[in-house]
Structure 1
């Protein structure tokens, strides 16, 4: 895969939209402007970021064509000409959006992103990446190591090898991943399964078309998703970032979280612009019945929880589609919906570790990355440690793919095609790893200005970055900052 191939991730929409023509030179496509590189590192993270936004632009173009919005400023140019007139992005917008939480300030203070036990840790034979930001994951991590507190934590890790830590923590329902090389990951059944799937994995059926005039009476060029209802069962970054952007495009987004496992506050503030936040305990018949009613009235449902957990309540993709054939269901997980880790917990940082990205970005303690390879001594070299992408690009690009899939399914529904889509962080990692390595002597020279917005909120004065799109020739903005977590009613705004 070349750099240009990452810029053409929109090709994965073909099962829904048909062939999606690409400009002859994707590197100078008319849907984005600005430099091609700005982050340091050996992989084409910029191409992944731009390409995922390009997929959403292509889906929005297709939806505008179906809805006949061209006369109002959308769809004036054909698919083959590139982006819609008035829908575009830029390197600066993409860079800022993918690093949104690093730019967030609440009354001038940055968020506290990582918990003490999270991050890379040395084991008896190498390295492991742990995720313990959520209190319940921290408890499970300590239990897996036979600890009641964090005292003795490092020693307990060094008594085990990396694969043992990964196995024991996963068995305890915690989150861990051993640092592997790309070759080691490619040889595992899960690595092979993730690499074999398309970036957006659609399942489609024929149905009865819904007329655009009946389905979306409120849609305009500036708000192409006005009138669309999205029920959001996702958390952390990927799914919430997708629905944050779809809310800015006009959708009524209702995010639902379990009260017993609340979202991290900083994560909520960063990703819950342009939506409402509600709580529902699906273990109670009343809340479950209300959520099912909301799903029956929705246009799209986003799912980010493990399939086994959703199946208990009939909210997994197959169950939802069986009773609500009009519904577009877009789901994600860490590792893919097939394979031995299909139901294993994972996050962007963990997938980077297991897939080989952390190895590629590994560095000697003197700083910098050294040709993306293992150094003498490899994981046993005391002067080497694993590294990470400049931003959580697997999360954000997967989120943009989810947004693109949702919009494409909305366009397809109006011509009689319905279905679902699935994405995974591991398959996104496979796309990135297939790209041609960046030469170490070609560091980016671009320094991008960070666009910032300021707004008063229930949490104080927020400094934040805007959505990564321009629509109808104008910068897209969030209609409102995050509301107080979990305070919205379980109902649609227009009900």
Structure 2
């Protein structure tokens, strides 16, 4: 569905992405001003429209939940927040970026995008290609040679079967005609469940500092919970100790949160997580469909233990379609959906050969950041809905559905111009940080992160009694 377009506080044609939430829950969020230029990245897709529209949806929902009238969306902050990792500096040093085995590799009939920034994904990629860790001194070269002899979809299939993460580059028509592309197109951008029955007395569920249990990683989920923390939520992020988050990601996405480690395969840790859920208001999860249920945190158990719990979740490919249980990341969805093809360019393979399209990428990981904004918008709206009806509902967002939305947006004709990014500085246990300013702004700059990222994994598995720095 293509959203309606209108004027939002001086910027014309910003997509209305809150409408689907409000329609399902019967909510009318207040208007929020949007200031600054409408176009700055340019390119073949309206990435700015997706960024501004998702930020506006989150801001309107935040204003509805908090009752604040000073929340605004500024284009410079949106541009900075959506490209946050590229602006991050830790004691003056830039983040490392993608690992050597993450990127586009040429196959025998096109290109494939791999994601091997996490050690377990690198191991899976090597296994899929028959490459042991000690095979050579040039792992990237070995992967390049192995993939070069395979058709792109065969390489995709082998990598996923081994538990890795990869996606062949497809054209937009190839994607839209595929079973997974059709499933993504049939999925609502924000799939909202208002809840079947009231489990609480109307008006009894209000907690001005809602407790949010964060079981997400990388960018999209942590973007959602960072926004919730920005406006006062007590966010406790829990990661598995055997799969730690990359430090750069933590320092970019965990402002205002506490972080802890717990292995959900351990019955004692799982029991403690259920206790935290019983005391929480919101559970945000980025686990693939069925993964939490396999760990004993299925929907029925959570409903019994935590009837007040609003549950929101995200994944790469959505809840239906042949890839619904596969691993995925923003870069892989770009590759599969045709976005990488649109941002690519023709490059001749040889003097007598037909051109082969060289892949490109969005200027920022907009699918991740937009998904996080939209999930935050759904979360605040569901908290209002729970307060008014006593029903604890849920919502789901997938990167594939966000990609479908981006591909459907009309593209402005003007090229735009570079925009000045809003940056801030703060101290952390891991060093002095230069980082993007919060997504939202206010007239007196009263909207600020409660505290910088803390030492990763160093907090206890408890809810805080008061705001902590």
Q: TM-score under structure 2 normalisation?
A: 0.91
> Which one of 326, 332, 351 corresponds to residue 350 of structure 1?
332
Asked if structure 1 preserves the Cα contact closer than 8 Å seen for 2:3 and 2:16, the reply is no
Asked if structure 2 preserves the Cα contact closer than 8 Å seen for 1:13 and 1:20, the reply is no
Q: Give the aligned partner of residue 321 of structure 1.
A: 303
Residue 376 (structure 2) pairs with residue 403 (structure 1): yes
Q: How many residues are aligned here?
A: 448
> Which one of 442, 460, 463 corresponds to residue 489 of structure 1?
460
Asked if structure 2 preserves the Cα contact closer than 8 Å seen for 1:259 and 1:281, the reply is yes
SS, match of residue 194 in structure 2: strand
> Which one of 377, 386, 391 corresponds to residue 359 of structure 2?
386
Residue 17 (structure 2) pairs with residue 9 (structure 1): yes
User: Aligned partners of 2:275 and 2:349: how far apart in 1?
Assistant: 59
Asked if structure 2 preserves the Cα contact closer than 8 Å seen for 1:3 and 1:436, the reply is no
Asked if structure 2 preserves the Cα contact closer than 8 Å seen for 1:86 and 1:474, the reply is no
Asked if structure 1 preserves the Cα contact closer than 8 Å seen for 2:349 and 2:355, the reply is no
User: Aligned partners of 2:231 and 2:92: how far apart in 1?
Assistant: 28
Residue 178 (structure 2) pairs with residue 207 (structure 1): no
Q: Give the aligned partner of residue 136 of structure 2.
A: none
Residue 189 (structure 2) pairs with residue 188 (structure 1): no
SS, match of residue 49 in structure 1: helix
User: Aligned partners of 1:471 and 1:281: how far apart in 2?
Assistant: 40
User: Aligned partners of 1:148 and 1:376: how far apart in 2?
Assistant: 30
Asked if structure 2 preserves the Cα contact closer than 8 Å seen for 1:335 and 1:424, the reply is yes
Q: Give the aligned partner of residue 421 of structure 1.
A: 395
> Which one of 154, 157, 165 corresponds to residue 167 of structure 1?
157
User: Aligned partners of 2:301 and 2:406: how far apart in 1?
Assistant: 32
Asked if structure 2 preserves the Cα contact closer than 8 Å seen for 1:200 and 1:422, the reply is yes
> Which one of 434, 452, 467 corresponds to residue 438 of structure 2?
467
Asked if structure 1 preserves the Cα contact closer than 8 Å seen for 2:205 and 2:308, the reply is no
User: Aligned partners of 2:268 and 2:114: how far apart in 1?
Assistant: 37
Asked if structure 2 preserves the Cα contact closer than 8 Å seen for 1:16 and 1:412, the reply is no
User: Aligned partners of 2:95 and 2:182: how far apart in 1?
Assistant: 36
User: Aligned partners of 2:311 and 2:95: how far apart in 1?
Assistant: 32
User: Aligned partners of 1:192 and 1:313: how far apart in 2?
Assistant: 30
Distance 1:317 1:392, change over 3 A: farther
SS, match of residue 62 in structure 1: helix
SS, match of residue 51 in structure 2: helix
Distance 1:317 1:394, change over 3 A: farther
Q: Give the aligned partner of residue 430 of structure 1.
A: 404
SS, match of residue 215 in structure 1: coil
SS, match of residue 166 in structure 1: helix
User: Aligned partners of 2:268 and 2:303: how far apart in 1?
Assistant: 22
Q: Which runs of 5+ in 2 are unaligned?
A: 6-12, 134-138
SS, match of residue 311 in structure 2: strand
User: Aligned partners of 2:200 and 2:354: how far apart in 1?
Assistant: 61
User: Aligned partners of 2:266 and 2:217: how far apart in 1?
Assistant: 21
Deviations 1:253-301 (A, max 9, x none): 0000000011111111110110011000112121111111001110000
Deviation at 1:364, TM superposition (A): 4.0
Deviation at 1:316, TM superposition (A): 4.2
Deviation at 1:314, TM superposition (A): 2.7
Asked if structure 2 preserves the Cα contact closer than 8 Å seen for 1:277 and 1:485, the reply is yes
Deviation at 1:246, TM superposition (A): 1.0
Residue 85 (structure 2) pairs with residue 101 (structure 1): yes
Deviation at 1:248, TM superposition (A): 1.3
Q: TM-score under structure 1 normalisation?
A: 0.86
User: Aligned partners of 2:4 and 2:39: how far apart in 1?
Assistant: 11
Asked if structure 2 preserves the Cα contact closer than 8 Å seen for 1:332 and 1:423, the reply is yes
Q: How does 1:325-340 map to 2 (within 5 A)?
A: 325-340=307-322
User: Aligned partners of 1:110 and 1:124: how far apart in 2?
Assistant: 35
Deviation at 1:53, TM superposition (A): 1.1
Q: Give the aligned partner of residue 148 of structure 2.
A: 158
Residue 151 (structure 2) pairs with residue 142 (structure 1): no
User: Aligned partners of 1:475 and 1:184: how far apart in 2?
Assistant: 47
User: Aligned partners of 1:475 and 1:157: how far apart in 2?
Assistant: 51
Distance 1:21 1:266, change over 3 A: closer
Q: Which runs of 5+ in 1 are unaligned?
A: 23-28, 75-84, 220-226, 366-374
Asked if structure 2 preserves the Cα contact closer than 8 Å seen for 1:31 and 1:57, the reply is no
